[in-house]
Amino acid sequence: MHRGFRRLWLAATAGGLLCVGLAVVANAVVVLSTADDRTDDAALLERAQVAVVPGSRVNPDGTLGGVVGERVAAAVRLYEAGTVEKILVSGDNGAPEYNEPEAMLAAVLAAGVAPEDVFTDYAGFDTWHTMRRARLVFEVDSAVVVSQDPFLARAVHLGRAAGLDVQGYVAGDAGPPGREVLARVSGFGEALLRPDVVGGPALPITGDGRTSWSEADRDVPGVTGTDDGGSPAPGAEDPPAS
């Protein structure tokens, strides 16, 4: 019985060391391989089609939480500077009472970004979905993904795996990596396996962003969902399901 316990202890120890080793390797690959494509200096970024803004918690009253608020503000700065032509806000809309893209869209529009330059992705359930759908659904070639420093390496790594020419812009510092250490292991696996994501009709990033909005979001105060001549925005009659 003593020998059986010793074997069990050795197996558990070996398994634990293997898990730790995998986490170390995954984190090293994700962080080191993206180091040259991440910056907190906007002047160092190359021009790109779009700033991709991954979602994060929004408040019950529809206002942005601190993390996603920093991301939206940083994306707006890149747009105003001419570094990007469009903004793609992507987040979770998995429940009727919770809508990250809607809150992000309202904030971007309130900052003065032209409605036609703002795209919404209602199926950005995680970073992999956000980056892969940017390529497959929105047909993005070049992007700047905007996130906090601890999360940015994973976002850039997944963006590359999704087929994007992607750079990362630091929107702020969310503190110690914490759970991100484990999230990088998961992201490392997603980058290798490239799991399927929720699909949808093509919404080219070169077009009018309003074609990607839901009917409810076309009723955002101050936004008519029409072009300058008062006619419906392209696709306004039949919004895509996502």
Name the nearest CA neighbour of 120 among 48, 56, 62, 203: 203
CATH number of the domain encompassing residue 116: 3.40.50
Measured distance CA(217)–CA(199) in Å, rounded = 20
Q: Any residues with CB less than 8 A from the CB of 4 and at least 6 apart, and which?
A: none
Measured distance CA(180)–CA(173) in Å, rounded = 13
Furthest CA-CA distance within the chain: 84
Q: What is the pLDDT of residue 22?
A: 75
Beta bridge partners of 39: 169
Q: Within 88-194, where are the H helices? A: 100-110, 127-136, 149-161, 180-193
Beta bridge partners of 147: 170
Beta bridge partners of 194: none
Across the range 123-128, mean pLDDT stands at 96
Is 239 domain-assigned?
A: no
Is 19 domain-assigned?
A: no
Is it the case that residue 185 has pLDDT exceeding 50? yes
Is 21 domain-assigned?
A: no
Rounded to 5°, angle at Cα 12 from 6 and 16: 145
Average pLDDT, the chain: 86
Is 12 domain-assigned?
A: no
SS3 77: helix
Is 44 domain-assigned?
A: yes
Rounded to 5°, angle at Cα 35 from 29 and 38: 130
Name the nearest CA neighbour of 35 among 130, 180, 157, 163: 157
Which range has highest mean pLDDT (14-28, 130-144, 219-233)?
A: 130-144
Is 234 domain-assigned?
A: no
Residue with tokens 């999360």: 151
| Residue of higher predicted confidence among 176 and 42 | 42
* Displacement of CA 122 from its chain's centroid (Å): 11
Is 1 domain-assigned?
A: no
Number of domains in the chain: 1
pLDDT band (50, 70, 90) for residue 221: low
Q: What is the pLDDT of residue 111?
A: 97
Measured distance CA(139)–CA(47) in Å, rounded = 17
Is 15 domain-assigned?
A: no
Measured distance CA(80)–CA(52) in Å, rounded = 15
Instruction: Express as a percent the part of the chain with pLDDT over 90.
Output: 70
Give 36-58 pLDDT, tens digit per residue.
999 999 999 999 999 999 999 99
Name the nearest CA neighbour of 188 among 52, 28, 6, 17: 28
Q: Which domain holds residue 108?
A: 28-219
Q: How long, in residues, is the chain?
A: 242
Across the range 217-238, mean pLDDT stands at 46
